[in-house]
Structure 1
Amino acid sequence: MVLQTKLTKLLGIRHPIVQGGMMWVGTAEMASAVSNAGGLGIITGLTQPTPEHLRNEIRRCRTMTNKPFGVNLTLLPSMTPPPYSEYADVIVQEGIKVVETAGNNPHEHIKKFKANGIIVIHKCTSIRHALTAQRLGVDMLSIDGFECAGHPGEDDVTGLILLPLAARKLEVPFIASGGFGDGRGLAAALALGAEGINMGTRFMCTEEAPISRQIKEEMVASSERDTALIFRTLHNTARVFKNKVAQEVIAIERQPGGAEFSQVAPLVSGARGKQVYENGDKDFGIWTAGQVLGLINDIPTCQVLCDRLTSEAEEIIKKRLNSMIVPEEKAKL
């Protein structure tokens, strides 16, 4: 038995599980492992320093899997933005069939991808933005709750509210993102109207994730209380692992009058965050993690994780939920 949803049918995958784009983590190794496990693996476009590096990474991934995989293109505010159009061109030229977009003003890129027959899944943290993306012609939405790692938006609305709202208001299908890491979460997402789940933090804590074993073990030892919200005063909130650097950033933001980004920039450097994954020092820099840390208690392979999530969800749906529906005359009222 398998869980078949609009997501699995649209993408041609076995499990209704997507590995979200993750800076420094979404490499060919990560994406191919998830795809081989029956989910949808995703290469993070901007992890590659240039569009040509992305081209090489896509080709490298194809040597590791013959299953569907996608590419993430996140549009971030920046004084010197990356050449997004060139990254998008490489995605098209390399024949990628699925793209996860996120961030600001995706219209021109969605238009380009759709013109080339690419399935677009756009990640949103609010229903109003999801409705805009729907009007732009995306095939599917990824609805990202406040529990998520990375940027949860500024509304602080959890998935438990966003998902049923999405089911009421959206016409295109959607998947659930933020806070998912076990079969209970998958079953709940399906019950709330989603066609599957998107996981980032949980996939970081797998054997194949290209990060230090020490960081994975730190994640297993952590709880749902071990994340922090930075950049709140800068209106660009980010959920990260609660370490010494994150706490220093928060202290600077709490100063009278707030803080300018220039005051925290050296602390939140992407280069420092990348080195956390390489050297295993959890306090070396900022690194993203979601509240799902509280549900992580092992470091399985992607295959074991995906199979376990779907089998747990199937068991809950078939046995626990179905057993609650009984003829009225047999119910003990």
Structure 2
Amino acid sequence: MPFNTELTRRLGIRVPVVQGGMQWVGYAVLASAVSNAGGLGILTALTQPTPEDLRSEIRKCRSLTPNPFGVNITLLPSLNPPDYTAYANICIEEGIKIVETAGNSPGPVIQLLKDNGVTILHKCTTIRHAQSAVKLGVDFLSIDGFECAGHVGESDITNFILLSRARQSLKVPFIASGGFADGQGLAAALALGAEGINMGTRFMCTIEAPIHHNIKQAIVEAQETDTELVLRRWRNTTRLFKNKVTDEVREVEKGSQEGKFEEVAPLVSGKRGREVFVNGDKDFGVWTAGQVIGLIHDVPTCEELVGRIEREAMEALQNMRSLWREDSPSKGMARASKL
């Protein structure tokens, strides 16, 4: 029996699993593989040097899959910010119907996309931010728990609480992000009120992920304790794979007298992080990974992974149904008390 959630119905996908946008990972080869497997693949806009490069990547992805896929646009603070509007316009011109947004002050970009009939999945780490996004008219919220890779926010709320708060507080459907790698996790997210899950780190560790095999093997060998939180001093807390460079960052962060970001900037350079995925040296620079690395033990194809998650989730949901008896003792006791 196929899944029937708000996410699968509105996005036209078979399995309620979204491949989150990941810098230097979200290329057409991965996004198309996820979409072909029945989930929703996502291209990362800012992985492309220019809006026109994004146009080319969208067309490449479309040539690789007939199924729906989306584009991630993350708005981050920068001295020289990219032309986010230009990237959004490329999505519109190329007929992209699903965009994942994240980051600061996304209102103008969301409005532009909404005015052109685009479905918006907006990622946030607090209920307060989610409520602000609802006012902007987003279609789905991606609730990102403290377990997640990358920017975790400053509230340190794990998904077990965050998802339940979302169920209690939000009037917009939401998906669960951060800490998901298998079908049991998908079943748990659905039980907590989510319409599906978003996975990043798990999709990094697939055959089609365009990163060096050594990095995939590092994820397989890692434990859930092998991540590091850095940049908290500058209220830009980020979860990264723990390595020699994150150790250096932590030392500077703790020991700096002046607390200037420039002291750690060379260590957390995105350029060095990108090179990790090319040269396979896990200690060359910083790279994002969630605590979910402790649940990842193989490097399957996207088709194998999504199919496995689908089967596991169905089995978990059926097992949960078996825990409830129609003629339960409590019902029998209730009837007896009325006699």
TM-score by length of 2: 0.96
- CA RMSD across the alignment: 1.3
Q: Secondary structure at the match of 2:172?
A: coil
Q: Residue 57 of structure 1 corresponds to which residue in structure 2?
A: 57
Q: Counterparts in 2 of 1:1-333, with a 5 A limit?
A: 1-257=1-257, 259-319=259-319, 321-326=320-325, 327-329=327-329
CA–CA distance in structure 2, aligned partners of residues 143 and 257 of structure 1: 36
Contact 1:7/1:195 (<8 A) preserved:
yes
- Give the letter for the 2:250 counterpart: I
Cα displacement string for residues 208-252 of structure 1 (whole angstroms, at most 9, x for unaligned residues): 000001110110000100000010101000000000001100110
Question: Which residues of structure 1 form unaligned runs of 5+?
Answer: none
Helix, strand or coil: the match of 1:102? strand
Residues in 2 aligned to 1:255 and 1:225: alpha-carbon distance in whole angstroms: 23
Alpha-carbon distance, 1:183 to partner: 1.1
Q: Matches of 1:260 and 1:302 in 2, distance apart?
A: 42
Q: Which amino acid aligns with 2:180?
A: F
Partner of 2:336: none
Q: Which amino acid aligns with 2:324?
A: I
Secondary structure of the structure 2 residue equivalent to 1:2:
coil
The Cα of 1:328 is off from its aligned counterpart by 2.2
* 1:257 to partner: Cα distance: 3.3
Deviation at 1:332, TM superposition (A): 11
Supply the AA of the counterpart residue of 2:83: P
The secondary structure found in structure 2 opposite 1:63 is helix
Q: 1:5 to 1:146 in 2, by over 3 A?
A: same
Q: Distance in 1 between matches of 2:259 and 2:239?
A: 18
Alpha-carbon separation, structure 2, partners of 1:24 and 1:236 = 20
SS of corresponding position for 2:165: helix
Q: Displacement of 1:329 after TM fit? A: 3.3
Alignment check: 8 A CA contact 1:176 1:189 kept: yes
Q: 1:331 to 1:323 in 2, by over 3 A?
A: farther
Letter in 2 for 1:218: A
TM-score by length of 1: 0.98
Secondary structure of the 2:194 match is: coil
Q: Distance in 2 between matches of 1:237 and 1:328?
A: 48
Identity of aligned residues (%): 61
For 1:187 and 1:269, how far apart are their aligned partners in 2? 37
Q: Determine helix, strand or coil for the equivalent of 1:306.
A: helix
Equivalent position of 2:337 in the other structure = none
SS of 2:80's equivalent in the other structure is: coil
Q: CA deviation at 1:62?
A: 0.8
Change (3 A) 1:244 1:95: same
Q: Which runs of 5+ in 2 are unaligned?
A: 334-339
Rg larger for: 2
